[in-house]
Amino acid sequence: MSYITLDHGSGGKLTLELIENVFKAESGLDSAVLGDIAFTTDSHSVKPLFFKGGDIGKLAVSGTVNDLLCVGAKPLYLSSAFIIEAGFEMEKLKKIVKSMKEEARKSGVEIVCGDTKVVENGKCDGVYINTSGIGKIIRPIEGKNIKDGDGIIVTGTIGDHGFAILNEREQLNLETDLKSDVSSLTDLILPLIESDVDIKFMRDPTRGGLAMCLNELCYRRDFGFEIFEEKIPVREDVRVIAEILGIEPYYAANEGKMVIVMDKKDEERALDILKSNELGRSAVTIGRVSSKNPQLVILNTKFGSKRVLRMPTTDKMPRIC
């Protein structure tokens, strides 16, 4: 007899297997590309609901907006469905709705429909939110034509969201101004989509972090990646918390970053566009596509050694988004 475990929701290897074997679907892009339309959906169950840098409302809007951007779409409309626990404080709900509204305005989308369900007290952790989104494809970005030498860009420091949440949840009480990076990336990514740089692929590295994002991209493909530890931007406080908890920043969720596979010839121009926005100030190329070790993400350490960065197997930090 097999059961669903928390690991099935980790965004790691077991999630991938669940999608393939039970849902009989392909785990491919962040949104479905339907002609000129991009369509996606995402549910959110973060604990705690309010955290430094945002709350579940902001997360629910930006998560879906960013998934639409990934396939080259301009995000336009969202739905929002709430599952609320009886006994949940009205003031908290109002606060969540307010931050959804603000984030929607910031990212240029309208929330056009919704649904509310209330379950008995104790049946869910306060509130869960599902959002679905529709965007207009500017140009489809579907992970085609990825080749040797293409650059891998990250748009900023990694692990901020995962470790900000853990820092609060585990009450590590470290004196730090670390906060979640949760943000919709319309202002950062739309100009890139609207330019003519050759974007091969985009994904926001949420659950499972950078390691999952890259592993999933080269899963059953004829290429792998070579990335360089020294190039990967990590905040000092994230490094410290990561060390204490024994979880590497590569596996921690991000909610306001993008990983972009870019044709080498356009890399510099793409970085210029990204860096002109506050959200992309520390954008940087962290490595390249390589056909030498297909399906493997090779991390070149700062000591000059090489190791494999695997797909995460078990969930080291559940319920973070």
Footprint of another protein on this chain (CB under 8 A)?
3, 7, 13-14, 230, 243, 246, 248, 293, 296, 298-299, 301-310, 313-314
**Burial (CB count within 10 angstroms: exposed 0-12, middle 13-18, buried 19+), residue 50:** middle
Q: For residue 170, how many C-alpha atoms fall within 13 Å in the half-sphere facing its CB? A: 16
Structural tokens at position 148? 């040797």
Please identify, using beta-carbon distances, which residue of 5 and 276 lies nearer to another protein.
Answer: 5
Nearest-approach distance from CB 95 to another protein, in angstroms: 33
How many C-beta neighbours within 10 Å does residue 296 have? Answer: 18
Nearest-approach distance from CB 149 to another protein, in angstroms: 20
**C-alpha distances in Å from residue 125, one per residue of 98, 119, 188:** 20, 10, 33
Residue 32 sits at φ, ψ, to 5 deg, of -80, 140
Residues 6 or more apart from 171 whose CB is under 8 A from it? none
**C-alpha distances in Å from residue 256, one per residue of 70, 123, 134:** 12, 30, 19
